[in-house]
């Protein structure tokens, strides 16, 4: 199967014989193309994944170990993860969500390009996704 990089237009041969939607084919091309724009896209996606992992870690998985309650509301976690993408895409600089009974969660991008997730419930914990794209 031949896929085309949506960033540079390069045609790439791929061994995947599945029928792909245009979106799936574009993503497959972005994952394999070596052009600077595709590499930047992969780096940004990695940063988003790391930030979402940090959100899960601070707000759900490791919350109790950090002396905080878990945020069990999936809608709040989804909003925080969507915010990570908006910040990585430079559409939002930072966002603070104040939850009922679970304190504040602030997601922001530093001048150096890292995205930090900071949670405050009586005390503050912060994790950063340092990968800069």
This prediction has a pTM of 0.80
Domain coordinates of the chain in residue numbers? 2-34, 38-129
- Contact, 80 vs 67, CB < 8 A? no
Largest CA distance in the chain: 55
97's torsion region: left (phi>0), alpha (psi -120 to 50) or beta? beta
pLDDT truncated to tens, each residue of the chain (133 aa)?
Answer: 888 889 898 888 877 778 888 888 889 899 999 999 999 999 999 999 999 999 999 999 888 888 888 999 999 999 999 999 999 999 999 999 998 888 899 999 988 889 999 998 876 667 777 656 5
CA 61 to chain centroid, in Å, comes to 17
Tell me the C-alpha distance between 97 and 26, whole Å.
34
Which region holds residue 67: left if phi is over 0, alpha if psi is between -120 and 50, else beta?
left
Residue with tokens 């530093």: 110
Q: What is the end-to-end Cα distance of the chain in Å, rounded? A: 29
């Amino acid at each position: 199967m031949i896929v085309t990089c949506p960033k540079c237009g390069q045609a790439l041969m791929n061994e995947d014989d599945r029928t792909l939607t245009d979106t799936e084919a574009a993503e497959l091309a972005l994952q394999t193309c070596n052009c600077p724009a595709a590499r930047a896209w992969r780096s940004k996606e990695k940063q988003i994944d790391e930030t979402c992992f940090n959100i899960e870690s601070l707000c759900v998985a490791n919350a109790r170990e950090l002396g905080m309650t878990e945020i069990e509301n999936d809608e709040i976690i989804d909003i925080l993860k969507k915010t990570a993408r908006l910040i990585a895409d430079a559409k939002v600089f930072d966002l603070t969500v104040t939850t009922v009974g679970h304190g504040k969660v602030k997601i922001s991008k530093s001048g150096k390009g890292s995205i930090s997730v900071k949670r405050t419930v009586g005390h503050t914990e912060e994790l950063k996704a340092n990968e800069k794209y």
